[in-house]
Amino acid sequence: MNKITYTIVFLFLATFGFAQTDSDYENTLKTVADGYNNKDSNAIFGLFSSDLQSTISLDQLKALVEDTYTQKGKVVGESTFLVEDDSGRRYLSEFENASSVIVIQLSQDMKISKFAIEEY
């Protein structure tokens, strides 16, 4: 019986210890917004997991940031958490000229494993 209890406690602690917190997501989102507002694609790209870096090149990210910045302007104010699903957390973000949804998902090592800017 003790082995089962210890196993359950260990699994709970392991899950809790490796889970990403709201604070982790908020800090990452703030860093992404700061990089975006400064048109610093390298800062955002550095947050990507190696898998995401192999999927989205730095040049593609630069083009996305430039195009979005031209159309929507800077991110202004705080982003509001909308929902979390299998594809990541969605945040409503106010830009100077529009509202959009920023989708991010963090890996176990707190790297961005999914990133998108979607129309609201």
pLDDT digits (tens, 9 = 90+) for 69-84: 999 999 998 899 999 9
Give the pLDDT of residue 75: 97
* 19 pLDDT tier (thresholds 50, 70, 90): low
- Domains of the chain listed by start with CATH number: 20-119 (3.10.450.50)
DSSP 20: P
Give the pLDDT of residue 99: 96
Question: Model pTM?
Answer: 0.81
Q: Round the average pLDDT of the chain to a whole number and report it.
A: 89
The C-alpha atoms of residue 113 and residue 120 are separated, in whole angstroms, by 22
Residue 37's Cβ-side half-sphere holds a number of Cα atoms within 13 Å equal to 14
Give the pLDDT of residue 4: 60
Give the max Cα distance, the chain. 63
Please indicate whether residue 98 or residue 11 has the higher confidence score (pLDDT). 98
Mean pLDDT of 19-44: 94
Give the pLDDT of residue 38: 98
Strands (E), the chain: 80-85, 88-94, 99-106, 112-119
